[in-house]
Every structure is written in structure tokens, then in C-alpha cells.
């Protein structure tokens, strides 16, 4: 009896594991996929060097970026035909859709995964030329994909408008096994710790909290823990900027008394997946966020945290958590329960496994049928 071969999947990530988007949307599922006999080969477009440039504010060397693009094209042309292609966001950012279409001209099924409103980087670009040349490239990619997996309803709505054949909502999720099984107490130094985690580019959003945080600092001991933020963010306030590292991010989250996610209500921000909120909640922390996009689905106001729009609402919400430790613990526990039930690898991962197995098996069966027909002929 012949041994059944594993189903082969080519995962074309945008970044290496250092980038949260690639890690949370694709790479954290590899062990689960392996258990289901899905043999995944990962080929990032941009490696650690690119992510390190972004984190440190350095401009990535153009020659190395060009080499990465050429490498992806060659990898697509030379790759052994897989049973499924799994694409994070896009194959070749800022390139014409016609080039991607040529590279995906075969009959291999594709999953296009989107966790951000990246279409707005093109269709709302300040340059009329970019809008004209690239404004519809993501829509065309969604229409061409076998399945579009969307991180939230905002992206799913755009996928439907683009004519996508099949849309599956898969939220960004947390591996709860990496987080503590029990909540941690407040820090022994007596300071109220307001925390934020993210990338240097996004730490600009914290400026919206300058007024309420300034008032909070005047009222008592305060520490603002910013993990992964740009130097100088919230200058003049008691800020500790700590570099992000996968090995230390959870310990940093556990130091926070509350996690914050301020966002402006703009089209691009409405497409975010609320990863920060889920990380805070997985660490048993209450969260406060702007009522933008999926944040309103994740936070049940007054139960798992607070939704705050104006500086006055932010200040009141922060005071509630600061002054009522029992409320903070209750919100943290409710948030952790939500993550375990609806936003965890354990709860969502099996859906991804079923989807990928279904697509890959259909392709493998079609290939076997074609080979048998060829042999018979």
C-alpha cells in the first residue's frame, strides 16, 4: 500500500518572524498545520534585515529590496508545484497587478490573507499616478484568489465589493499557551502602569493621549510603558520606551495595569484587527481603546474594558481602572475569557486547518486524476 504524501503548501509571507503580521497571521499556525499533514514551505519576501530597519527607523537599502523582489519572482518561477499557495497581503508590493497575475497564472488554488486595509495605501495615496496605476491592485488580487481570509468585517466588506469568489473571516488570534494561566498583581513600586505595544510607526497614535496622561501624571505616581515605540514618543511624560522582543513581550504586558489602543477614525485604521487589545486581554489586563473598527466588537464597554473617544473619556476610563483594582481584575478576566473562546489559536486554528486541507486535497486529487489519465492515454 502506497504511503499518502503530505499536502504541500507554499507560504509567501511578507516578512520574517520578527514582524507581528507574519508571525500572527501565518507562522504561529505552522505546528498545527504540520500535525494535519500540511507540509508548509515558508518563503518571506523581506527578511529580518528589513524588519530591523523599520524598527530602528533606518531606510532599507534599495539594492537589497530590489534583490528581494527578484528573489521572489525567481522562487515563484522555479518552485515545485505545490497543492496550495498561501499569500500574506500581496506578492510584490507596489508593483503592477499584471506581474502578480502572471506569476499566479497556474491552476494552483490560492489563499490571500489580509489583516489590514492595505488597499487604502494605494487608492488613497496622495499621488494621482499611484492611485491610477495601483488603486485597484488589491481588489484584483482578491477577485483572483480562490479564497480571501479577512481579519475583520471591514476587510471582508471590501473583498465582497471586489468580487472575491469566497470570503472567510479569520480574526488575528493569540496562542494562550504562551501567556500566564493566572493574572499578575500590580507592580510593587505603587506606580500605575499604562501600557502600549506596537511598532515605531504606530506609536504616533499615542500623542492623542497626551492631555489625559499629563493630568494622570499630575494626580499620582505614573509609569507609561511603551513597548516597540519610537524614541521621543510622549516626550516630557514619565515614559519608559522598551524595545520589542518576542522573548520579553509577554513579561512586559504583565507589568501593565491597563493597555491602551488610541486610533483616529480614518479608513485605514478601521481595517485594523485589534491585536494589541487581544494581547492585553490574554495577559489578563483591562483595555481601553478608541471606538474604531473591530475595537467595538472586541471591547464590551464596561465589561472587558472601556471605549473612549474624547480626552475626557480617556481620562475618566483611566481613572476608573487606576482607582478600582477589583474592576481591573474583573475586566482582565472577562477579556481573557473572550480571547480563549473566540480569538485563540485553539479556537480558530482548526478552522484554518480545515480550509487549507480542503483546498490542497482538491488540488492533489485533481493532479492525481490528471496523471492517471495521462498514463492511461
CATH assignment of the domain containing 318: 3.40.50.2000
Least confident of 66-70, 152-156, 366-370: 366-370
Nearest CA among 125, 155, 151 for reference residue 139: 155
Q: Are 44 and 134 part of one and the same domain?
A: yes
| Domain-located, residue 1 | no
Q: Are 332 and 239 part of one and the same domain?
A: yes
Grid look-up 481602572 returns 321
Mean pLDDT of the chain: 91
- What domain range is 40 assigned to? 7-173+345-376
Say what the pLDDT of residue 366 is: 56
Distance, CA of 276 to CA of 341 (rounded, Å): 17
Q: Are 287 and 169 part of one and the same domain?
A: no
Encode pLDDT of 158-180 as tens digits. Answer: 999 999 999 999 999 999 999 99
Q: Are 36 and 87 part of one and the same domain?
A: yes
Nearest CA among 229, 255, 233 for reference residue 243: 229
In sequence order, the 6+-apart residues with CB closer than 8 A to the CB of 201 are 54, 230
Nearest CA among 98, 227, 253, 235 for reference residue 174: 253
User: In the β-sheet with 7-12, what is the strand arrangement from edge to edge?
Assistant: 38-42, 7-12, 84-88, 110-114, 147-150, 167-169
Number of domains in the chain: 2
Q: Are 325 and 356 part of one and the same domain?
A: no
> Does residue 233 contact residue 262 with C-beta atoms inside 8 Å?
no
Mean pLDDT of 81-108: 91
Phi-psi region of 57 (alpha: psi -120 to 50; beta: other; left: phi over 0): left
For the entire predicted model, the pTM comes to 0.90
> Does residue 103 contact residue 76 with C-beta atoms inside 8 Å?
yes
The angle at the Cα of 307, spanning 301 to 311, to the nearest 5 degrees, equals: 145
Distance, CA of 165 to CA of 86 (rounded, Å): 16
Amino acid at each position: 500500500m502506497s504511503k499518502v504524501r503530505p499536502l504541500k503548501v507554499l507560504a509567501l509571507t511578507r516578512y520574517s518572524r520578527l514582524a507581528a503580521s507574519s508571525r500572527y497571521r501565518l507562522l504561529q499556525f505552522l505546528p498545527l498545520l504540520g500535525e494535519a499533514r500540511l507540509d508548509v514551505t515558508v518563503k518571506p519576501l523581506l527578511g529580518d534585515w528589513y524588519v530591523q530597519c523599520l524598527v530602528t527607523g533606518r531606510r532599507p537599502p534599495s539594492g537589497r529590496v530590489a534583490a528581494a523582489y527578484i528573489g521572489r519572482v525567481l522562487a515563484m518561477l522555479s518552485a515545485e508545484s505545490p497543492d496550495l499557495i498561501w499569500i500574506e497581503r500581496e506578492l510584490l508590493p507596489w508593483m503592477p497587478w499584471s506581474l502578480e497575475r502572471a506569476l499566479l497564472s497556474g491552476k494552483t488554488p490560492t489563499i490571500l490573507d489580509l489583516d489590514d486595509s492595505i488597499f487604502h495605501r494605494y487608492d488613497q495615496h496622495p499621488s494621482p499616478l499611484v492611485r491610477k496605476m495601483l488603486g485597484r491592485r488589491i481588489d484584483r488580487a482578491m477577485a483572483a484568489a480562490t479564497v480571501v481570509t479577512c481579519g475583520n468585517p471591514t476587510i471582508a466588506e471590501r473583498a465582497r465589493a471586489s468580487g472575491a469568489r469566497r470570503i472567510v473571516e479569520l480574526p488575528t488570534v493569540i496562542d494562550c499557551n504562551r501567556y500566564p494561566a493566572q493574572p499578575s498583581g500590580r507592580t510593587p513600586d505603587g506606580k500605575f502602569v499604562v501600557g502600549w505595544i506596537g511598532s515605531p510607526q504606530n506609536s504616533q497614535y499615542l500623542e492623542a493621549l497626551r492631555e489625559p496622561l499629563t493630568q494622570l501624571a499630575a494626580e499620582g505616581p505614573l509609569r507609561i510603558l511603551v513597548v516597540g515605540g519610537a524614541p521621543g514618543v510622549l516626550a516630557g511624560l514619565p515614559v519608559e520606551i522598551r524595545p520589542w522582543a518576542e522573548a520579553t513581550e509577554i513579561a512586559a504586558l504583565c507589568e501593565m495595569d491597563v493597555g491602551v489602543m488610541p486610533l483616529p477614525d480614518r479608513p485605514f485604521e478601521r481595517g485594523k484587527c485589534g491585536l494589541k487589545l487581544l494581547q492585553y486581554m490574554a495577559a489578563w489586563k483591562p483595555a481601553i481603546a478608541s471606538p474604531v473598527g473591530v475595537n467595538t466588537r472586541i471591547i464590551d464597554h464596561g465589561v472587558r474594558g472601556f471605549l473612549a473617544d474624547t480626552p475626557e473619556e480617556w481620562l475618566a476610563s483611566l481613572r476608573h481602572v487606576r482607582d478600582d483594582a477589583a474592576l481591573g481584575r474583573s475586566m482582565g478576566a472577562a477579556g481573557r475569557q473572550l480571547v480563549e473562546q473566540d480569538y485563540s489559536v485553539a479556537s480558530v486554528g482548526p478552522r484554518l486547518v480545515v480550509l487549507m486541507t480542503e483546498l490542497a486535497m482538491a488540488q492533489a486529487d485533481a493532479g492525481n486524476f490528471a496523471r492517471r489519465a495521462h498514463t492511461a492515454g
